[in-house]
Amino acid sequence: MLAPTFKYELLVNIILVTSNDYLSDNTVELSDHRLTHIRKVIRASIGDRLKVGLVNGLWGDGEITYLDDQRCTLALGLDKKPPPATPITLILALSRPKMMRRIYRMAAEYGIKQLYIINSYKTEKSFWQSPVVRDDTVHSYLLQGLEQCIDTVLPTVHFRQRFKPFVEDELSDIVGTKRAIVAHPGNYPPCPVAVNQPLVLAIGPEGGFIPYEVDKLIACGFDPVTLGPRILRVENAVSTLTARLFDAARG
């Protein structure tokens, strides 16, 4: 197996920067975990060009102009648009913290830009006290997802701790004219394939929503669908449903 010709090819994700990293109009300085990644993982050198993106902005190349164990400066040329968003608004019952960390990363990787994390009867109250509902924690996992998939646009995450007021007061406006689907185990029609249109997708906790919650969603215009007789982990349901509903190659 031949070694890559350029170190650029060794980079499997993207270095994300913010306005706080800028020294001038096109130069940034990094001194945190991104420096460690550049030095220890990429093993880059002065003159190497890396994939760099501005959070919520363009992406392109960054040439290393200075590098030591304290800091790295990059001269940027950002001229590429991020990939298009996947037109799914995800409504997800808060699940176990370990699982939520993976779901945040996964949602960002899939290009989902709107997430509503809601309460369900099966959601343990302690989950709402965990770090996975803190803005800084959520932000870090979303960034990890963006770095993986070479995207720059951060998803927006909304938290709603009361199910009934959310469904009765907000959900209709969120759905609007979009198609709305609730994935739930049971004798329901199979989940459609390659819908490729804006839609709202609701996924409950492991084992699904309780009947009352499913009925409330149906009253808001949601169509219940199933993935079959097997009960999936929430994270697997998120990835399977997203891939099934939206064909990125055609979207």
| Mean pLDDT, rounded, of the chain | 91
pLDDT at 248: 54
Whether 117 is in a domain gets the answer: yes
Task: Tell me the per-residue pLDDT of 124-138, one tens digit each, with 9 for 90 and over.
Answer: 999 999 999 999 999
Whether residues 100 and 211 share a domain: the answer is: yes
Residue ranges with strand state E in the chain: 15-17, 22-24, 27-30, 49-54, 59-67, 72-80, 86-93, 112-118, 156-160, 179-183, 199-203, 223-225
Whether residues 37 and 112 share a domain: the answer is: no
Looking at residue 17, which CATH number applies to its domain? Answer: 2.40.240.20
Whole-model pTM: value is: 0.90
Residue after which a domain boundary falls, among 80, 97, 112: 80
Whether residues 99 and 175 share a domain: the answer is: yes
Whether residues 218 and 112 share a domain: the answer is: yes
- The whole-angstrom separation of Cα 227 and Cα 66 is 52
DSSP characters over 174-213: HHTTSEEEEE-SSS-PBPPS---S-EEEEE-STT---HHH
Whether 210 is in a domain gets the answer: yes
Whether residues 46 and 99 share a domain: the answer is: no
Whether 63 is in a domain gets the answer: yes
Q: Is 153 helix (H, G, I), strand (E, B) or coil?
A: coil
Whether 2 is in a domain gets the answer: no
Question: Residue 36 sits in which domain range?
Answer: 7-80
Whether residues 96 and 183 share a domain: the answer is: yes
Residue after which a domain boundary falls, among 62, 80, 98: 80
Task: Tell me the per-residue pLDDT of 81-124, one tens digit each, with 9 for 90 and over.
Answer: 999 999 999 999 999 999 999 999 999 999 999 999 999 999 99
Whether 71 is in a domain gets the answer: yes
Whether residues 92 and 192 share a domain: the answer is: yes
Whether 148 is in a domain gets the answer: yes
Whether residues 140 and 229 share a domain: the answer is: yes
Quickly count: other Cβ atoms within 10 Å of residue 42's Cβ: 18
Q: Is 150 left (phi over 0), alpha (psi -120 to 50) or beta?
A: left
Looking at residue 105, which CATH number applies to its domain? Answer: 3.40.1280.10
Query: Shortest CA distance to 162 belongs to which of 218, 200, 112, 116?
Result: 116
Whether residues 97 and 209 share a domain: the answer is: yes
Whether residues 212 and 98 share a domain: the answer is: yes
Number of domains in the chain: 2
pLDDT at 3: 38
Whether 250 is in a domain gets the answer: no
Confidence of residue 77 (pLDDT cuts 50, 70, 90): very high
Task: Tell me the per-residue pLDDT of 169-180, one tens digit each, with 9 for 90 and over.
Answer: 999 999 999 999
Residue after which a domain boundary falls, among 58, 80, 102: 80
Tokens representing 173?
Answer: 């406006």
Whether 124 is in a domain gets the answer: yes
> Is the pLDDT assigned to residue 250 strictly greater than 80?
no
Whether residues 133 and 16 share a domain: the answer is: no
Across the chain, which distance is largest between two alpha carbons, in Å? 61
Give me the residues paired with residue 22 across strands: 28
Whether residues 96 and 216 share a domain: the answer is: yes
Task: Tell me the per-residue pLDDT of 17-55, one tens digit each, with 9 for 90 and over.
Answer: 999 999 999 999 999 999 999 999 889 999 999 999 999
